[in-house]
Amino acid sequence: MPRKIEHKWFRSWAEEEIGKTDPDGFNAYKEFGPQEHWCWFGLRCLCASTEMQPVVCVTPYVGYTDRQFAEFFKVDTRVWEVVKKKLEIAKKIEVDGQNVIRIVNWERYAGRYFQAKKNRDLEMRLWTEADDQREKEKKREKAEIFKRVIIYLNETSHKHFRTGSPDAFHHVSARIEEGATEKDFRHVIDVKCGQWIGTEMEKFIRPQTLFNSEKFWGYANEPDPRPQRPPIGAASTILPDERKKYEAQAKAEYEERLKRAMETYGWKTVEEIPSDAYFKGIPSFEEFFVIFLKEKKRAGEWNLNDDE
């Protein structure tokens, strides 16, 4: 029993053959209708799938019935019977009393088939490997972005959304496909947390609301209502006494936060930290020192006269 006519190589070969004219001037594309010329191409495909080439049959002495051929080609039996008669008249096939069909000048078609199969097989295999690799990298990148976005959302909103939620991942993945960047997600989180925390809208701070297709891009274009962050590397005044008293404490806290951030983002060394790390919540030590001192003052813990 030959392989199914839907096999990808058979279809590829048949499509390549469309429009070609045989040396004797016969052109199935012009002589036959769509269903008819597919029967002719399909017959050659069946022949190529057997070990009894150039003959298409069940055994060397018994052929397939016309109904079976029609099923192979997915056409009405009458369509196949007309095609078979036309091919006999054109001397493309020979049919004996047991419906065993021999394709005349089979070597002409076989050479083209097997060369086309070889070339397409190599092309398909290379494309599949490259495509699979791209898909794997794309999925891995999406998963990493999703994890970081949810962690940032939890840190900003003080909630506990799961990084394994399929529904949340669906929304983030869909927005990434539309061109959203990690910075866009963080901006939306910053904007909505700044607007909604402490209000009745706080219950809507969740991935399904923030990252859905209807609202996300509108949120992404809203200005951040919070005070603007200082530019990276901006000069800040730290008094010598402040540095002397608090620098060691600030460095210890900074290194601990930096360690946690590197674990979160998968950075192995300090050199791997990107230049835009400030927007990931990772300022330079000098920038962190200024924030550290402000927090001390706000909490009433800042006192240069208190010897420790």
132-146, 252-266, 268-282, range with the lowest pLDDT? 268-282
The residue ranking higher by pLDDT, 262 or 116, is: 262
User: SS3 for 24?
Assistant: coil
Q: What pLDDT does 231 receive?
A: 46
CA distance 117 to 100: 26
Most confident of 36-40, 215-219, 243-247, 295-299: 215-219
Q: How confident is the model at residue 20 (pLDDT cuts 50, 70, 90)?
A: low
Determine the length of the chain.
308
Please give the average per-residue pLDDT across 216-239, as a whole number. 67
Q: Where are the alpha helices (DSSP H) in the chain?
A: 8-17, 28-31, 34-48, 66-73, 77-89, 106-157, 166-177, 182-196, 207-210, 216-220, 240-265, 285-298
Phi, psi of 22 (to 5 degrees): -70, 160
pLDDT band (50, 70, 90) for residue 297: confident
CA atoms in the 13 A half-sphere facing the CB of 151: 14
Q: Is 298 exposed, middle or buried (0-12, 13-18, 19+ CB in 10 A)?
A: exposed
Q: Is 130 a residue whose pLDDT tops 60?
A: yes
State which CATH number among 1.10.10.10, 3.40.50.1360, 1.10.287.130, 3.90.1150.10 fits the domain covering 8-104.
1.10.10.10
What sign for the dihedral angle of Cα 220, 226, 228, 233?
Answer: negative
Q: Which pLDDT score, from 0 to 100, does residue 274 have?
A: 63
> pLDDT tens-digit profile of 170-224?
899 989 988 899 999 999 998 998 889 888 898 999 999 999 988 899 999 988 7
pLDDT at 44 over 50: yes
Comparing CA positions, the residue from 123, 88, 82 lying closest to residue 102 is: 88
**Band (146; pLDDT cuts 50, 70, 90):** very high
- Residue-wise burial string across 179-207, b where 16 or more C-beta atoms lie within 10 A, e elsewhere: ebebebbbbbbbbbbebbeeeeeeeebbb
Cα separation, 21 vs 203, in Å, equals 70
Q: What pLDDT, on a 0 to 100 scale, did the predictor assign at position 188? A: 93
Whole-angstrom distance, CA of residue 190 vs CA of residue 223: 10
The token pair at 182 is: 């990690």
Domain ranges of the chain: 8-104, 136-220, 240-298
Task: Retrieve residue 38's tokens.
Answer: 């597919």
103 pairs with which residues across the strands?
93
Helix axes 182-196, 106-157, angle to 10 degrees: 30
